[in-house]
Structure 1
Amino acid sequence: MNRRKFIRQTCLGCLGGGIVPLVLTNCQSTHYATGTIEANGIVVPVSEFTYLKKEQTVIRPYILVQNDTLEFPIYVYRFSENEYSALWMKCTHQGSELQASGDHLHCPSHGSEFNNKGTVSQGPAEKNLKSFPVTVSDGKIKIDLRQS
């Protein structure tokens, strides 16, 4: 094998190996759930985290809760059956709507990133995301919008 052919094959392999994980991560579609507004916040069924795939129940790691009365969606991440985080999807840098990508949120405007608990992992944002208390009971996830 000559040098040129070796470099071409090696570079293509490296590029392909770096792109495959990104493509696979983005193959999982984001699930939007419409929450019901109640006196103290918004409610969504726990069942929004599950779906059937080839006759097996699969659990989503996160959902985006929306309602016409909300300016931005709420990212709800599932840590366990009874532990969730609920984060306002508004970047603390300049107020752009964030994009969910698995266990983190990304700001398309200036590149800030936040983890699934709302902590800044990459600037320019300096403040963590607004989070809401979450309780689980009777098959419902209740997000208290009064507090942060």
Structure 2
Amino acid sequence: MTRKDFLKNACNACLSVTLTGTLISSCTPTQYISGKIQKDGITILKTDFVIHKGKNQGYNSFIIVRNETLLYPICVHRISDADYAAVWMRCTHQGTELQVSGDMLQCAAHGSEFNKRGIVTNGPAGSNLRSFPVKVNGNEIFIDLRKLS
């Protein structure tokens, strides 16, 4: 996607949201958490993904972990109740902090795109995002910051 196409699509999306207020009411805000820093990583909870809408319960597809010890945030996507993907939100092209849009991470600087597992789907970035091993134990999700996965 070229920068021109990216800007055109972004403007069309903003206009669409402005003209149809129903989209705004159906969107859930991005969930930011700080997590619990431990020796080898960071722990978050499965319940951090839960959304309550009246009597119904749903799940955010992702949350963003922001912590003062991290240089960039980590995006954690919920694939299923037992499968989560954690990626560093730093573009591999020139280091810009990425933005999350559904199942994609996008670079506002040059238009690179990555899927929820951090695999580059559109350049100019030439390499995948740093991803972290994730272990689920009961209600806890441990993101191992020592290794690349």
Report the secondary structure of 2:16's partner residue. helix
2-structure distance, mates of 1:107, 1:124: 10
2-structure distance, mates of 1:113, 1:103: 10
- Please show how residues 79-94 of structure 1 align to structure 2 within 5 Å: 79-94=79-94
Deviation at 1:27? 3.2
Partner of 1:40: 40
Is 2:113 aligned against 1:116?
no
Deviation at 1:104? 0.5
Is 2:84 aligned against 1:100?
no
What's the TM-score, normalizing by structure 1?
0.82
Using the aligned pairs only, state the percent identity.
47
Q: Which runs of 5+ in 2 are unaligned?
A: 1-11
Q: Which runs of 4+ in 1 moved over 2 A?
A: 23-28
1-structure distance, mates of 2:101, 2:48: 18
Is 2:58 aligned against 1:58?
yes
Partner of 1:12: none
**CA-based RMSD:** 2.0
Report the secondary structure of 1:111's partner residue. coil
2-structure distance, mates of 1:144, 1:53: 32
Paired AA for residue 83 in structure 2: E
Paired AA for residue 71 in structure 1: L
- Please show how residues 22-37 of structure 1 align to structure 2 within 5 Å: 24=23, 27-37=27-37
Q: Deviations over 1:17-46 (max 9, x none)?
A: x935xx738933211111110011000111
Greater CA radius of gyration, 1 or 2?
1
Report the secondary structure of 2:114's partner residue. strand
1-structure distance, mates of 2:77, 2:147: 18
Report the secondary structure of 1:19's partner residue. helix
Q: Which runs of 5+ in 1 are unaligned?
A: 1-14
What's the TM-score, normalizing by structure 2?
0.82
Is 2:120 aligned against 1:125?
no
2-structure distance, mates of 1:96, 1:28: 25
1-structure distance, mates of 2:30, 2:65: 11
